[in-house]
Structure 1
Amino acid sequence: MNGPSPRILSPTDEAIAEAAALLEKGALVALPTETVYGLAGDATSDSAVAAIFAAKDRPQFNPLIAHYPSAEAAARDVSFDPRAQELARRFWPGPLTLVLPRRADCRVSLLASAGLDSQAVRVPRHEVAQRLLAKFGRPLAAPSANRSGRVSPTLPQHVAEELGHRVALILDGGACAIGIESSVVALLGNDAVLLRPGAVTEEEIQAAIGPLAHAGEAGQPRGPGMMASHYAPELPLRLDATSLRDNEALLAFGSQPLPGAALSFNLSAGGDLQEAAAHLFAALRQLDRDGRCQGLSGIAAMPVPDRGIGRAINDRLRRAAAPRPVS
């Protein structure tokens, strides 16, 4: 990995304070949890979440887990039904992630939700993670601190080898006690769906809330990686537009947007792919809402370079343009 190696610091009060200060500035910090080391950024910041995707070379905008110090803190951003309340009571803090409906005033970036109206949340048990969450005062988006597709890190040295200068600081919590990612359960309708097995077993979850469906059953739950079409605007989305048709809004990119749009949003006038990623979901929602209000017929999306995080942007645009399921 090119660039200087990140600092690995013992989790003293001073190191925790420095990590929180870096997060405030939009930097990324690696923190230990009981499962694996996480690549943490401010979950409420579009730019910080986009930096996480860029650092991991993540090929898609899969939803990210937002980490909280308590269930009460998470309840500010997502809605708990009785099943979620019971799972939180039994297994939090701990290695269980719940995918729950976003509240209307949810603080978490839509980019972390992959544009969905749900959000994955967890309360980690690790003492260092808890101290950083308390010091920072906002939720942290923290997928595993490795390049996408690589083995998840369970030691601080693994993070340094994987990410190098892409992470500003690594808090050393020693070896992770569990070493595999959290179990993930989606509670978005009548069915409880196990999206990913983990340290909290299927049997333990079923003992708490009853039968579980599995990924691919009971329809397609709107959770990590489960839908070909994630948040799709109501207006049709046309990709790779090189000219505007009558009555279309424009999703622009770069310094030369297509002329003549009555309604437009430029993802990045300077052609910065990370800035474009940070704006993507908000742009789609704004163009869809305002375009429908103005009676427009669709949204034309200019081409985005298919490199780096641009691949993730294009993946998300293809999903947003995918045919809707027939209800």
Structure 2
Amino acid sequence: MSTSSYNCTNETQRVEGLAEAKKAIDAKQLIVMPTDTVYGIAADAFSPRAVATLLAAKGRGRNMPPPVLIPRIGTMEGLATDISDDARKLAEKYWPGPLTLIFHSQPSLTWDLGETQGTVGLRVPDDQLALDLLTLTGPLAVSSANRTGQPAAQTASAAREQLAESVEVYLEGGFRPLEGTEPEPSTIVDATGLRLRVVREGAISLAEIQRVVPSALGADVEPEMWSPPSLAKEEPAVDLTKVQATADPVDEELAIDLAKAEPAVDLVKHDSAE
């Protein structure tokens, strides 16, 4: 498989690169793109084959499904269900930006992102090149552009050193974030319960979230303290539990598993070292 790289700081190459990236996505191939945090490896979110190829390129299993980047807030309506007013407030305040919202996904969708147990993480990135690409392609499953266990790439060339010919098109947009700036991961908010819960603080703090939604809970709140007893008896309530976060922040790494014995949905794998 041959690969192509486009310097998208040059307008001519930017136009060509976006066109070729769309062709690759349409062909169920992988591309590397900048986001507002680090570079991501992306695939058609609605192609199980493409998502499986993405996971294989990274060297990871279905138990760590990628979140989905979307071009605008309105796209959320077609992908998620049970969107609360509080979740909308956060989306309107922080999108585009480093906020990942976890929702129940629309049951009519035929995608297969891995072991999500009916949930999906959505984000609108604050990066014009990424937004232009998403406008062309539609929703993309995106994970950090690196092999599992390796540092997240801050340039397309750094991503290519790790991913090589597993990726069809590399879009180079310069350092993400700016050279010399330490990347910060997105803040992850569980929006599947009766109250929002911050399960990972990243670029947006819990205090900032609570200024918009005062009832939002932090990651240190035990599930039984916020899951309503009536739901716990009749239907699993939702809880996302923060796991180990290391110093290497990766924006787009989520994995969601349904706890069968507990009345909660558990975020069991979030390896921010990748």
Counterpart in the other structure of 1:43: 45
RMSD: 2.1
User: 1:25–1:216: structure 2 CA closer, same or farther, 3 Å change rule?
Assistant: farther
Which secondary structure state, in structure 2, belongs to the residue aligned with residue 143 of structure 1? strand
CA distance in 2, matches of 1:195, 1:9: 36
User: 1:75–1:213: structure 2 CA closer, same or farther, 3 Å change rule?
Assistant: same
- How much has 1:141 moved relative to structure 2? 0.3
CA distance in 1, matches of 2:29, 2:185: 23
- How much has 1:71 moved relative to structure 2? 0.8
- How much has 1:143 moved relative to structure 2? 0.7
* AA of the residue aligned to 2:35: T
Q: Where do residues 168-317 of structure 1 align in structure 2 (5 Å cutoff)?
A: 168-177=168-177, 179-210=183-214, 211-214=216-219, 217-218=222-223, 221=239, 224-225=254-255, 227=257, 229=258
Counterpart in the other structure of 1:284: none
Give the gaps of 5 or more residues in structure 2. Answer: 9-13, 225-237, 242-253, 264-274
Match of 1:52 among 51, 54, 69: 54
Counterpart in the other structure of 2:261: 325
* Residue 98 in structure 1 maps to residue 101 in structure 2: yes
Tell me, yes or no, if the aligned pair for 2:103 and 2:192 is still in contact at 8 Å: yes
CA distance in 1, matches of 2:220, 2:119: 16
- Say which structure, 1 or 2, has more relative contact order (CA 8 Å, 6+ apart): 2
- How much has 1:226 moved relative to structure 2? 5.5
User: 1:92–1:62: structure 2 CA closer, same or farther, 3 Å change rule?
Assistant: same
Match of 1:8 among 2, 5, 8: 5
- How much has 1:222 moved relative to structure 2? 5.2
CA distance in 2, matches of 1:35, 1:58: 21
User: 1:225–1:42: structure 2 CA closer, same or farther, 3 Å change rule?
Assistant: closer
* AA of the residue aligned to 1:98: L
User: 1:216–1:25: structure 2 CA closer, same or farther, 3 Å change rule?
Assistant: farther
Give the number of aligned pairs: 227
Q: Where do residues 67-106 of structure 1 align in structure 2 (5 Å cutoff)?
A: 67-79=69-81, 80-106=83-109
Match of 1:31 among 30, 33, 54: 33
CA distance in 2, matches of 1:87, 1:193: 12
Deviations 1:145-202 (A, max 9, x none): 1111221111112101111111111101111126232111111112322222211222
CA distance in 1, matches of 2:171, 2:49: 22
Which secondary structure state, in structure 1, belongs to the residue aligned with residue 41 of structure 2? strand
Tell me, yes or no, if the aligned pair for 1:35 and 1:176 is still in contact at 8 Å: yes
- How much has 1:59 moved relative to structure 2? 4.1
- How much has 1:7 moved relative to structure 2? 3.0
Tell me, yes or no, if the aligned pair for 1:29 and 1:170 is still in contact at 8 Å: yes
- How much has 1:104 moved relative to structure 2? 2.3
CA distance in 1, matches of 2:150, 2:198: 23
**Identical-pair percentage:** 29
> Taking structure 2 as the reference length, what is the TM-score of the superposition?
0.76
Tell me, yes or no, if the aligned pair for 2:66 and 2:255 is still in contact at 8 Å: no
Moved >6 Å (runs of 4+):
none
CA distance in 2, matches of 1:182, 1:85: 17
CA distance in 2, matches of 1:41, 1:17: 15
